[in-house]
Structure 1
């Protein structure tokens, strides 16, 4: 299979909107455990509600005739956002999941041209923040190098490349099922965290 021309971001932006939505759905799928972990640790949030919204997105991708009120889903999503006054690491990662899913819903409601880049950045940004937190490197240039070469960042980049390649192909039901499975990543989030 020949590699499409252009860099990662150009290829993402060149995708038709349905393919972009599938890309974002897979990334949201992979970030979801971060929100669930936050909810388990704090007793706040609504992982089942978030899961239900993301399930509806997959349904819309699979069944084009599906009539889903994404305005209403966006309102629900706003209720699941963690409280802004808490600025802990876990809360910030949980907020990222809600923001990414909101960006995805915006595209389903016909808004937000750059949502796909935004979701890609959110996922990578969470990984970067996690590496910065766990590595504790003060020197900015050393930290930047550490982030670039870190196994979690390499994994994130490989994952996004794999998802992009998958959505550049034909997106029938089977392909969507496989993509969703890829996004679930065996229950391991983009931060390498699992609910077990």
Structure 2
């Protein structure tokens, strides 16, 4: 199934709140290894704290009436950003994970109708940046074609399609959410094809 952005974006907008949150949570799962790698290599950041915030989101989705103070979690999340003076590639991809999780928390608090699209674009933007970094193509048109046809970008499109299809299923029950979380964790491989191992 090809992903015409209109069709994909339209389908994202049609989701109810719970399904939108589940979509974003799954995409955030796949961004966490990038943050973990950055934290491990620089000693900056706290992957356990980031992981805990995302776990609370899943708990909110899985446990009816789970009482979680997401304003407080948003404050904690702000402290997990890479230092503003670190402009390295690793810091920017770690920041992607924080930005995506921040959009998810905004969505949870009902403040961000465009949050799912923001998370989708953040994840894609990281893949594009990685391809641009590794392929080193100066010609803009050639680079655009390269990005479009790159296996990592194809994988990203397929992954987001699979997550969207999963959240569109009739019953987003406990089992479906657990399966979605496994899909997002992607065996510990991030959207950039990187893993802590």
TM-score bucket (shorter structure): over 0.9
Look up the match of 2:190: 189
Q: TM-score, normalised by structure 1?
A: 0.96
Q: Which runs of 4+ in 1 moved over 3 A?
A: none
Alignment of structure 1 residues 27-176 onto 2, 5 Å: 27-169=27-169, 170-176=171-177
Q: What do the CA deviations read for 1:77-129 (whole angstroms, capped 9, x no partner)?
A: 00111111111100000001000000000111121110000000000000000
The Cα shift of 1:187 comes to 0.5
- Structure 2 unaligned residues grouped into runs of 5+: 1-5
Q: Aligned residue pairs: how many?
A: 191
Partners of 1:156 and 1:72 lie apart in 2 by 31
**2:3 alignment partner in structure 1:** none
1:15 aligned onto 2:15 = yes
For 1:174 and 1:107, locate their aligned partners in 2 and report how far apart those are by CA, in whole Å.
23
Local SS of the residue matching 1:7: helix
1:3 aligned partner: none
Displacement after TM superposition at 1:31 (Å): 0.5
Unpaired stretches in structure 1, ≥5 consecutive residues: 1-5
**1: distance between equivalents of 2:61 and 2:88?**
34
TM-score where L is the length of structure 2: 0.96
